Amino acid sequence: MSRKSKIILITGGLVFCLDRLTKFLVAGHMAPGESLRVVNGFFDITLVHNTGAAFGIMAYAPESLRLPFLLVSAVVAVLLLLYFVSKTDESETLTLVALAMVIGGAAGNIADRAALGYVVDFIDWHAREFYHWPAFNIADSGITVGVFLLGYEFLIKKKSG
């Protein structure tokens, strides 16, 4: 197995497995809308069934349109990311790790949407009553960190190199 394949499988697999495990634990012990206070006024674990995309986009679209659109879009995105992996040199470790994080996160959310028709979210950050960030999950975190790493690689590191 090539170094590139190992990076993709290990990193993407880790994001995917952590996402699946945390969703299983939260969904198995909480009811939708139920919250567990972790840090008062700042962080809760709150089970949310997100039928939409990021930040609930399309949540109120008819399911007959929303679900196929979101599934197909996510699968196409993963296929494009795999294409980028194939074009990335094996020595570009950070780029491969970033792509793997996005792929693993997308796969975690695809698994939810395909099996349940929604994505399980539970990480609930807020600043008391002043601001409430939409709930998210480990898959979303992997996608976000991966995209930031890609941005760093392509916008900052390559510009200075």
The verdict on whether 121 is a catalytic residue reads yes
120 burial type by CB count under 10 A (0-12 exposed, 13-18 middle, 19+ buried):
buried
CA atoms within 13 A on the CB side of 65: 5
Burial 137-159, CB ≥16 within 10 A → b, else e: bbbbbbbebbeebbeebeeeeee
Reduced to 3 states (helix: H, G, I; strand: E, B; else coil), residue 91 is: coil
The verdict on whether 19 is a catalytic residue reads no
Catalytic residue among 44, 112, 121, 124: 121
d(CA 33, CA 105): 23
Active centre residues (catalytic): 121, 140
